[in-house]
Structure 1
Amino acid sequence: MTKSEVILAISRKTRLNKENIKATIDELMSIIQQATVENKRVYFSGFGSFFKKKRAQKIGRNINKNEAMVVEERYIPCFQPSKVFKEEIKASG
């Protein structure tokens, strides 16, 4: 499902203006992104949480040159679904 499809689905259910929905979704994503960058966990009850996670330095392999290389320590964005969300997915088969 694309962002456009989500906006259309929300618009159909709520009968709100698509432009307002798009602006709201854009702002929500911006807030989640900025909070995650600032090392704040963003939690939605019944859905899950967004946070950043530290990946340790490791030895990787450049398959084109077949040589080992060091992959530096870095942060990655993560999403952890809530227990309720996991159970819904599990029950859906």
Structure 2
Amino acid sequence: MNKSEMIDAIAERSELSKAGSAKALDAIIETIVETVAKGESVTLVGFGSFKASSRAAREGKNPKTGDKIQIPETVVPKFAAGATFKARVSGKE
């Protein structure tokens, strides 16, 4: 499912127009991104949680030349699925 299909599905399930659904989806995504970028977490009970996670510096290998390279420390977004989401996907609900 891509973004436009998601907007169609939201409009179908709610009483929002497609334009309203698009604005709502954009607002949700932007709020999650801004919050996680600030280092805070976003938890949607039953769905999951988004948070920033630190990835330590490490030594890697250039796949083209085989030379060793230093990969710097970085912060990456992480998503952990909630129990309800996991159960629904696995068919155990």
TM range (shorter): over 0.9
Partner of 2:48: 48
Cα deviation, residue 32, structure 1: 0.3
- Paired AA for residue 89 in structure 2: I
- Paired AA for residue 65 in structure 2: K
CA separation in 2, counterparts of 1:75 and 1:38? 11
- Detail structure 1 runs of 4+ shifted over 6 Å in the superposition: none
CA separation in 2, counterparts of 1:82 and 1:16? 27
Counterpart secondary structure, 2:80? strand
Q: TM-score, normalised by structure 1?
A: 0.92
Cα deviation, residue 34, structure 1: 0.5
CA separation in 2, counterparts of 1:89 and 1:18? 27
Partner of 2:24: 24
CA separation in 2, counterparts of 1:28 and 1:15? 17
- Paired AA for residue 75 in structure 2: Y
Partner of 1:58: 58
- Paired AA for residue 20 in structure 2: N
Counterpart secondary structure, 1:65? coil
Q: TM-score, normalised by structure 2?
A: 0.92
Segments of 5+ residues of structure 2 without an aligned counterpart are: none
Percent identity, aligned pairs only, is: 28
Q: Give the total of aligned pairs.
A: 92
Partner of 1:2: 2
1:80 and 2:80 matched: yes
